[in-house]
Amino acid sequence: MKGKRKILVVRVGRAGDLVMITPALNALLAAMPEAEFHLLTSAEGVRVMRDYHPRLTRLWVYSRRFPRSLLMKSALTRAFAREGYERIYVLEAKPTYRKWLLKIGPRVHALPAGPSSGHYCDRCLAVVRDSLEIPCPEGWVHLPVTAGGRKKARELLAEHGVGPATLLVGLHPTFSGSGLPFFRSRKDLGHRNWPPAHFARLGRLLKDQAQRRGRDLAVIIDALPEERPLVDPVIAAAGGAVTLLSGPPDFQRYKGLLEALDVLVTPNTGPMHIAAAVGTPVVALFSRWTAEDCGPYMDPARRIILRAEDTPDPRAGLAAITPEKAADAVWQLLDRKPAADGEGTAGT
């Protein structure tokens, strides 16, 4: 490894934040085929990006929480200086990261400070494109799925009576921060949380519609133990229409399960981005935030965005999006499925 070019990429955040840097990271990997890449990220970022690519060889962990951040920054600064990075790509909007890392690397490329417009993925790609002297390859978000992850997902489905020929619609009733004792504000909650009663009714609608269409369809939720307080009311109100999977936490298996879905219905949260990254069609529910800024970065033919702002009562937040509208969107994507099956995952 002596003398090998080393590139540091910086993104500290939640799962969806890390997924959204993958188009830029893939562009860098393609443009510098001889370079070794390191990533400065969060503990959650390590879980998402571990084993992402053979040339992403090191994941540095950083916490934003003070005073731990101060202690970690000092140690990391010394470690980065020893690595001798040729370039540093700061895909963080906060200018503090750029100010910190300018002390370490001679060539620091960063997102512009101040107000921004456009999708975050496009802005990251622009940083990479502007830094290169050759054309920048571009693609959609991407996460690899292992054969072991796929096998565990199919085994978990089989344990719950779901066969390989069954159409699978996944529901994701939780969102980032929903497990905290007190969410940031009730105002934010209405824009992040599609009511449990809506998810339950959607499950019943899909099962009834599938029966009328003569389709074998299962509606499933894969929940972590800490998400059960939000998920159990959906299962109870669905009256048997929604199956709760109860496997132990396993990120490779989770990616395999998302990949196995024919459609995922989700608010704007990490699993929306993970599903897009494994090639799964998505019905994404938005209120106040916009898909143009942080929506699923994937082939538009494989996604449908439903916005509270397009309903008669946008002040109601996500609750303004009806289960009937979501069910229509699910069937639109299911009806596109034969054409989509022959397509590869963009960004690979």
Q: Given this model, what pLDDT does residue 184 score?
A: 47
| Residues facing residue 170 across a β-bridge | 220, 264
Ranges of each domain in the chain:
6-131, 147-341
Mean pLDDT of 101-109: 86
Check residues 344 and 292 and name the one with the higher pLDDT.
292
pLDDT of residue 247: 75
Please report where in the chains the tokens 């990271």 appear, as a residue.
25
Mean pLDDT, the chain, whole residue set? 91
pLDDT band, very low/low/confident/very high, at 80 (cuts 50, 70, 90): very high
Could you tell me the two tokens for 312?
């008669």
- Rounded to whole angstroms, the Cα distance separating 141 from 50 reads 16
- Does pLDDT of 73 surpass 50? yes
pLDDT of residue 103: 83
* Contact (Cβ atoms closer than 8 angstroms) between residue 245 and residue 156: yes
Alpha-carbon distance of 190 to 288, in angstroms, equals 10
Per-residue pLDDT, 69:
84
User: 98: how many CB neighbours lie within 10 A of its CB?
Assistant: 19
Q: Which residues pair with 285 in a beta bridge?
A: 267, 306
Lowest mean pLDDT among 91-100, 122-131, 331-340: 331-340
**Nearest residue to 146 (alpha-carbon basis) of 255, 49, 249:** 255
Across 45-54, average pLDDT: 96
Percent of the chain whose predicted confidence (pLDDT) is above 90: 79
Burial 200-226 (b: 16+ CB within 10 A, else e): bbbbbbbbeebeeeeeebbbbbbbeee
Spatial distance between the Cα atoms of 93 and 111, rounded to a whole number of angstroms: 6
**pTM, whole model, 2 decimals?**
0.92
Count Cα atoms within 13 angstroms, Cβ side, for 265: 36
Q: How far apart are CA 245 and CA 81, in angstroms?
A: 46
pLDDT in tens, 124-182: 999 999 999 888 888 999 999 999 999 999 999 999 999 999 999 999 998 765 544 44
Element holding 208 (H helix, E strand) = helix 196-213
pLDDT of residue 176: 62
Given this model, what pLDDT does residue 64 score? 84
The pLDDT-based confidence of 29 (bands split at 50, 70, 90) is: very high
- pLDDT > 50? residue 52: yes
The C-alpha angle with vertex 46 and arms to 89 and 229, in degrees rounded to 5, equals 125
pLDDT computed for residue 341 by the predictor: 43
Helix (H, G, I), strand (E, B) or coil at 37: strand
Instruction: Give the CATH class of 147-341.
Output: alpha beta
Cβ 210 vs Cβ 168: under 8 Å:
no
pLDDT at residue 23 greater than cutoff 80 = yes
Stretch among 30-34, 223-227, 309-313, 320-324 having the lowest mean pLDDT: 223-227
- Displacement of CA 243 from its chain's centroid (Å): 23
Find the mean pLDDT for residues 9-31: 97
**The pLDDT of residue 226 is above 60:** yes
Find, among 282, 322, 321, the residue nearest to 304 by Cα: 282
CB 91 within 8 A of CB 79: no
Helix (H), strand (E) at residue 9: strand 6-10
- Predicted pLDDT of residue 338: 61
Which pLDDT score is estimated for 278?
98
Q: In sequence order, what DSSP letters do the residues of 258-293 get, joined into one string? A: HHH-SEEEEESSHHHHHHHHTT--EEEEESSS-HHH
The residue among 125, 109, 93 whose CA lies nearest residue 20 is: 125
% residues pLDDT > 70 (the chain): 92
Asked if residue 348 has pLDDT above 50, the reply is: no
Length of the chain measured in residues:
348
pLDDT at position 173 is 95
**C-alpha–C-alpha distance, residues 181 and 189, integer Å:** 13
What CATH superfamily classification does 6-131 receive?
Glycogen Phosphorylase B; (3.40.50.2000)
| Closest to 37 measured CA to CA, from 110, 86, 100, 105 | 86
